[in-house]
Chains A and B, each alone.
Chain A
């Protein structure tokens, strides 16, 4: 087992490369979620405002 983690003496390089890659993926997921949350919050705040809604352009539904 310790042989596996030592990676023939290159363990520090291999494991930190995989660890940093995993961390980058996690950070990306977290950043997207944070952006999504703040965007939805703002949209909901807009939607619940009682002001007269702005005039919407007329849209034709795509078939």
Chain B
């Protein structure tokens, strides 16, 4: 490290949980003999503890850009600063030991046990044996496996998902300032990929590492990224923005096209039920006078009343024939009642409504108490209000 930035940590032993800032400054890369550049004047900054996703079609140089950071590929021009200091000032092997590295094909050492694999970087860093051993167990637990059962197995004895987790644990082992991840979940089936992504986000919430994450999958980028760098072929930065900005205001046609015609729907994946203006349903309890309920209905957004129990938990929507008697009677639970939680992802809630063929869902808080109603209309209002162009989707793109 140079003395340009005053309080930089010693590069060999960063304190636990330390994360670096990363800055690309007019970075370019031209391979010898190539007519065009792989990376062209790439500049962006990643804050400490953020996940920056590099995304783009194949041949856009996203992997090249990532590999420039730990000098697996050498820069042709510009500079990359790690905590303010140029990566050129580190020798490559030393630099790489400070940077976690996880790739799609994992590349576990088949001749080493899980423990030995995870211990790779700590051993290179010369940690004492006891510390390495403790670190290995800590990481195996962190990724949700049992240390006693897993430690001494060889990679060939593990499932694909387990190997992927070990790969991530190995990348984390030296407590790196920065993690580089090249499509780490790319070779996993969709169901397990989703699980690994969620696990990883949960881990990241704890670890707060700075991460450069490469993917070709825009959905993964939107899900994983704090910031997304969209690259176009030729290694030119098309847009650098938060996922929400990217979906709401694509910088140009290329980004708009890459993000996809369903970007309105994608935005639903970033939104929670609590974020939209929920409707207030008329509540009715068993024994309430029907006249009173009808009066409440008149002032409500939802055309049917919601029957709740003594604790305010939704039981059923009351239909016209339920309100014929003088008082509201017991109504056995109807299939048409869909409840969603306030903290649910809006996309999942919409999917629930559509799957069950209903227009309204009762929204509950964590205790299960009714706190509003979600309707398809509410969701579409939200999207219109927040600038999504839903009127003219390009016809050829249905993804």
A and B, one complex?
no
Residues of B within 8 A of A (CB): none
Residues of A within 8 A of B (CB): none
